Structure formats: structure tokens, C-alpha cells
Amino acid sequence: MTGTDAPLLSHPDRNLALELVRATEAAAIRAVPFIGRGDKNAADGAAVDAMRKFLGTVDFDGVVVIGEGEKDNAPMLFNGEHVGTGRGPACDIAVDPIDGTSLTASGRRNAISMIAAADRGSMLDASSVFYMRKLVAGPEAHGVLDIRASIGENIRELAKKLGKDVAEIQVAVLDRPRHEELIEEIRAAGAGTRLLLDGDVAGGIDAASIGGTFDLCVGTGGSPEGVATACAIKALGGFIQTMLAPKDEAEKAKGLEAGLKFDHVYTADELVTSDNTFFVATGVTDGNLVGGVRRKGGIIRTESIVLRSHSGTTRRVVADHLASKWL
């Protein structure tokens, strides 16, 4: 349900976030044996199995609206899958047991396990169009940035608002061939780039966070990831604008049939209409957003971030787990 006049019990409550973080912790821990082993499918499979198991114990009625695939591609958490006990609030959830499977397989930084949740029916279903352009920054960007403007103009306006020289602005962008021109434009404007091998969800959250490494996160990435990022951005009071980027006319036609809008700027409130969103992420490998899983003797330590838009809170959760319980 959406809307502020709905019964209180129909909404996800504050305890849900701390339940969901158990699932991301489990997925991250189970992925550890596969870090640097070159087998991203094995890492993903282990994380999916752990996340599904723990979600099954949570008192909520969750439906995966942004998952990793369709039902026939199990063991992935598939679109439309019901998770939870079925008791408690009805939620849309977006899941990625490992955002950065290639990073995990190669032993690189910034792989996370993540879940986003919001009231049932509130997340935009953009699954028919795989990519969207994104522009993400902190709260200062409201009324300042516009995804329809050039990247150079946005960088200059943001620098002015932040009281920085343009040369101090750090822009995160996925390192992809499709971004070659964008990267050149960022550098031509005088700003510095921070190229991400993968994981623009973590990059966007970092850009919107107080004390983050990045000032701005831009580029074209997955539409599902854009919606998940919006859940976090609403909790941070940050700024996000997106525009759908169909790869061809056939995909655009599918999007139109699904009710999506093109040449339209989607804001956070359109990507997720609920004012009660959750975002939880646990580090698999070390990164700017959260630290990775570490084992010291008989203890496994995880680091997670827990965001809730209704209260506007950001929590850091460091948990020590007895390794003997995970053997």
C-alpha cells in the first residue's frame, strides 16, 4: 500500500531493516570463499541461496519486483518471487545478492550484497527497458542539477553550490566503452573521474552521502539498479534523476506498452512513490561504501549500511559472527 493515510501496520516498520541486514550479511559471508577464484556464477549462486534462506525467516510479505532473472532461471531470486513468512507488511523488494559478481570473482573492491524495500506497488517496474541514464548527487544538488543539461554545465553548477573549484569535483562513472565520450567531457570540464569497474549502486550512494568520496555519479546503467538506488537516495535526502535509454525501437515499444515514459525525467519520487523506503547493503569486498567481510580466528566480521527514508536515518552495523556457526 502507498499513501500516508494507510493503516500503520500495512507499512514496513523500523525492525524490518535489521531483519533484512541479516540476509545481506549471510549472502556476503557465503560469497567469501569465491573471492578471487574467477567463478562469478558460483559466488552468485552461494549468495543467492543464503539470501533466500534468511529472507524466508523474516515476518513480511515480500514480492521481488527487481531480481536477477525469471523463474526458469532459478536459483536466482526471480522477478515475482514471494519471500518472507507472509505475515506482516506487504512490500516490494529489490535484491542483488552480489552487486559486482565480476568484482568478487576477480578479488576487486566494491562488491556488495544489497536489498531495497518499500510499500507494495510503489517501485517503478522498468524491467522492460534494461538501461537508464542516471545523475546522482547529495542534497545540495536539488534545484541545481538537471540531467538534460550538459555534464560540463552540471559540474560547474555543482562546484559553485559546494563552494569548490571545478578541479576538486570527483565524478564516478562506470568504465564502459559507451561512456568514452562522457568521460572525455568530464575531464574537459576540468573535473576528475573515478572509474568504476562495476557497481553504480554503491557509487550513487557514495555520491549522495555526507563525507562520501564522490561528488557526482553519472552515466548509463541498469534500470533496476536505478530504482534500488532511489530507495537509498530518499533516505539520504540526496538527488537522483534518470531517463530511460532503450537500446532500440523494439525495446522502446515494450516500454511504452508497459506504461513507461520516454524523454521524461524520472525523479526519486517517481522511481519509488513510497515515503517509507529501506536500503541495506553488506560489503563482500572492501569498498568506499562499506568494508568487506573479514575473518580473524574464530570470528567473521561484516560491515553494513542501513538506510530508512521515513526517519531519514543512516546506520552502520558492524557485526561479529562466530565462524563455527557458518561451517
Known binding residues for Mn(2+) are 44, 68, 96, 99, 225
Are the C-beta atoms of 154 and 146 separated by less than 8 Å?
Answer: yes
Show binding-site residues. 44, 68, 96, 99-101, 131, 176-178, 198-200, 222, 225
Which residues are registered as beta bridge partners of 55?
none
User: CA 305 to CA 36: how far, in whole Å?
Assistant: 24
Q: Cα separations (Å) of 49 from 24, 206, 238?
A: 11, 28, 33
Contacts by 69-77, CB closer than 8 A, 24 or more apart: 75/45, 75/48, 75/49, 76/44, 76/48, 77/48, 77/51, 77/52
Show binding-site residues for substrate. 99-101, 131, 176-178, 198-200, 222
User: CA 165 to CA 4: how far, in whole Å?
Assistant: 42
Are the C-beta atoms of 145 and 157 separated by less than 8 Å?
Answer: yes
User: CA 135 to CA 157: how far, in whole Å?
Assistant: 14
